[in-house]
A and B are shown apart, each in its own frame.
Chain A
Amino acid sequence: MASVTPSNPRIKVNRIGLDSKQYRGTKTTLCAGCGHNAISERIIGACYEMGVDPGRVVKLSGIGCSSKSPAYFLGSAHGFNAVHGRMPSVGTGALLANHKLIAIGVSGDGDTGAIGIGQFVHLMRRNLPIIYIIEDNGCYGLTKGQFSPTADLGSTLKTGVVNDLPPIDTCALAVELGATFVARSFSGDKKQLTAILKAALSHRGTAMLDVLSPCVTFNDHEGSTKSYSHVKEHDDPLEEISFVPFFEDISVDYEPGTTQAVPLHDGSTLYLKKLEEEYDALDKVRALQVLNETRRRGEFATGIIYVEPDRDDFLTMLNLVDEPLAALPQKRVRPPRGALKEIMKSLR
């Protein structure tokens, strides 16, 4: 574990004695102004404030500009930059080996929506305890700006080419398939994204976060529906989110009619003050309806779209021993002589 108390008492530290610098990674190599960089910053902030132990975190990604970003946060945590679109399987394996790890996955809209859609679908179904972030810019950044499957109908490339296929709504898919925490946010909305990330860290199950994250180099022009200006103008927050972590002794007064209090797995509480009338983040059907309605209006519903705080996650369903499987000593994984004898006898 990395909980070293800094020698300088003036440096502010979090509840496990780490300062925020210790949550940083190597210097980013992404374009200046890329939405992905802002998301890395929010991850750093949320993990610092939540007192997440980097020694327990595994950072996972596929391939793309977005998938590079795990190198740029939590430098002292293990990371695995796998192959294009296949991060879910690698993350699944890692968590099978050690169910005590905190998994943070970063993908792109191409990495998830195109080559990786199969693995994405099955990850959502399994409700694996992982935070799965799609840094969604509607294009393939790393291969220089082609359309991705989340590009909206009618959105244009820099060259003027118009997208004439409907987009995949990863949030709707995730809700439909069984993810137990589904949110959409915007890389430029510091407050909302931080609150969502903290809540995701407190959730046990798949937390799927689609974060609109403009590509300043290939998809920030007039005519793009994933540009900074377009997203800002069409951001339609569902609720005002307050997050009270389990380790803070704060009582919140709220009006049950307009605010929903959602207790999370680790004891933290999420307060969702409704902006959209009759919105209920615990209602799956309503969630899908809102996603459809806002899309029809050409807007992005942001905030916590759906949450199911207490469904068993995949690892719990496997009924594993308490210790990580990876750490079991020989005597617990190699059956005794008697077992082999018994098997041999059965084969006579």
Chain B
Amino acid sequence: MPVSDIAVQDAPAANLTERVVNDFSIRVATVNGSGSQTANLVLLRSIFRMGIPVSGKNLFPSNIAGLPTWFTIRASKDGYVARRATIDLLVAMNPETAREDVLSLEPDAVVVYDEPLKLDELRDDLTFYPVPFDKLVAGILRDAKLRRLVRNMIYDGVLANLLQIDRQQMDAALEKQLGSKPRAMALNRSALDVGYDYAAEHLEKRDPLVLEPMDKTDGLILVEGNAAAAVGAMMAGVTVVTWYPITPSSSLCETLIDYLQKYRLDPETGKATFAVVQAEDEIAALGMALGAGWAGARSMTSTSGPGVSLMGEFSGLGYYAEVPAVIFDIQRVGPSTGLPTRTAQGDVLTTAFLSHGDTRHLMLFPASVEECYGMAIEAFDLAERFQTPVFVMSDLDLGMNTWMSKAFEYPKKPLDRGKVLDRETLDRIGRFGRYRDVDGDGIPYRSIPGDDMPAFFCRGSGHNEWAQYSERPDDYKANVDRLARKFETARNWLPEPVVEINRKASIGIVAYGTTHWAIVESRDQLLAEADLQTSYYRVCAYPFRDALESFIERYDRVYVVEQNRDAQMLSLMKLDVRPELANRLRSVLHYSGDPIDARTVTDSILIQEGYRVEKAGAQTIRLPHTSGVGGE
């Protein structure tokens, strides 16, 4: 049994007394486009509504219909929401992958499968529950087309019975999912019933997995990161949204459009207080966002790696001409088209320096859906405060998967529109110079077209502090030095890191974004399995705070954990911290396209710390700059 506190015995059936309660992973293997998403979300929400901490991860192909897709639901009484590498219960609906799905299970796992697939012949160390899905669905429906769509709901019914899911909560979850469609509702409910009744009559419970009500989700919500960011952008008062469709970012703007149409029409006139444009490509999307930012709007675009690559030249213009805009990068696996529907943290280095010349960008790293919301709001303030593009570095795992969260709080701070020139300021400073550092913080004042203040000529070519064209060496240098000063000012404005100092710790861990959830769990594992105490520094923004150096100073070895091959965040840190501190940085890397799991982190740290020997063939690539195995 993959769950460590369960005594493993030979015959799984004899194990019924050792129940596994609220602590296992379910994987549903289906075919893309078969309507399984509804069934999976209903299952997820039912568990959530029972008060059990839960997370859902959709592993889907870059395809509209026909290719295999897996949905993983993890119930965790302890509240762990990272992906779990081991699967305890498989629902095998896809004939194409069923064999491999079953063969890859750990011993003692449970399999609910489509009876004709005869999967029980494959192994004798698993618990099998055959279900004749086609026969059951034929009993409810004549229409073959519709059958395909409700067929999946039957496994929800089967699981409700096997795992003791509260049927009332499941009905409520179904209602939530399909409430507005009464006919679909009725059909799906009968599918649930059929599955439930079949299991009750024909399947004798022979496995230890059960779900029992808890009270750990009171007041929580379930939401995807992209939807959370959309709510944040709306609450930030976004006025211009320009975008070009790309997985995994499309749902951000699509959700935003829905919310804007609901909450941002002028109550008196019914007219829009926002504009959304689907651009012809990402170059145009950012060009529009910058044009809008220059003309005083709160503007944004949303994209993923390929779009970020196209945005290079405009990003440099935004940086150098000092134009605000917010760019959400929902990272996916690259390079090139890569794995469009898999997750990664692979755009960190590109984005930090996106565009030619001495360019540096502000980046925020949300780890949770709550931070997607909060940092979306913050990003608009920062973009206007620092008059520069701000990148919100989310990823597919965060953006498209469903996460539990505290309900979002109404923003406490008013909008910060930054240093916009007004009459009073003009009187104070005398002559307006668009790029003059009046206040010594590197941030100049700006005027906005149509606002009756003195105009300026905005350009990406060389300019002096009066915004006049200039190729003079002293003008150029003074200007880029001021930009560097502005960047330094930003360092202490950006969201602070989340630091947990443990006095007994012998090593430090650094992570960012969704990697956080694996760290939470891994730190517990390190303690439980090796009595290894750790401190933790979670990066929330770039440029880094000085606190990063103080953190590294405390430990001989600091593990930077991230989801890319090249240790991108670590490399960025090496550029920033004192050289003697850079040598203390070690890497834990995960880059398969699956979200990182705690086991990977724990094993890698234990090996590097010398507690364990690296398994032959284990995937730990050590790059030249991530010096040696730890525990020397």
Contacts and interface: CB of A to CB of B under 8 A. Distances in A.
Interface of A: 1, 26, 54-56, 58, 60, 70-71, 76-83, 86, 88-98, 100-101, 118-119, 121-122, 318-322, 324-328, 330, 332-335, 337, 339-340, 343-344, 347-348
B277 interface: yes
Contact of A326 (B221, B239, B284, B313): B239
A322 B270 CA distance: 11
B3 interface: no
Contacts of B387: none
B324 to A, nearest CB: 11
B237 A333 contact: yes
A146 B150 CA distance: 63
Interface stretch (B330-338, B407-415, B593-601): B407-415
Nearest to A91: B291
A97 B299 contact: yes
Contacts of B220: 348
A85 to B, nearest CB: 9
A337 B409 CA distance: 9
Nearest to B275: A96
Contact of B240 (A55, A81, A93, A334): A93
A340 B235 contact: yes
A333 B223 CA distance: 23
A23 to B, nearest CB: 13
Given A86-B313, A97-B239, 9 more contacts: A78-B457, A79-B455, A82-B317, A89-B291, A97-B293, A100-B450, A333-B274, A334-B235, A348-B220
A118 B458 contact: no
Contacts of A90: 287-288, 290-291, 294
A93 B263 contact: no
Contacts of A1: 452
A78 B296 CA distance: 12
Contacts of A89: 279, 283-288, 291
B222 interface: yes
Contact of B266 (A71, A100, A332): A332
Contacts of B274: 325, 333
B192 interface: no
B295 A98 contact: yes
B267 to A, nearest CB: 10
A93 B293 contact: yes
B235 A93 contact: no
A344 B291 contact: no
Nearest to B411: A334
A93 B296 contact: no
A54 B450 CA distance: 9
Nearest to A25: B457
A81 B457 contact: yes
A55 to B, nearest CB: 6
Contacts of B296: 97-98, 324, 326-327
Interface string B433-461: 00000000000000111111011111111
B294 A80 contact: yes
B266 A321 contact: yes
A330 B460 contact: no
Contacts of A96: 239-240, 242, 275, 277, 288, 291-292, 297, 299
B378 to A, nearest CB: 14
A18 B449 CA distance: 19
B410 A340 contact: yes
A322 B289 CA distance: 21
A79 B294 CA distance: 10
Given A94-B295, A334-B411, A79 B457 contact: yes
B450 A118 contact: no
B232 to A, nearest CB: 10
Given A97-B295, A98-B450, A326-B239, A332 B273 contact: yes
Nearest to B49: A348
B317 A55 contact: no
Given A89-B284, A325-B274, A347-B222, A80 B291 contact: yes
Contacts of A320: 271-272, 275
B594 to A, nearest CB: 26
A101 B414 CA distance: 27
9 A-B pairs closest in CB distance:
A93-B291, A89-B287, A326-B296, A333-B237, A97-B297, A97-B295, A93-B292, A90-B291, A93-B288
Interface string B215-234: 00000111100010001001
A324 B277 CA distance: 16
A82 B295 contact: no
Contact of B297 (A55, A83, A325): A325
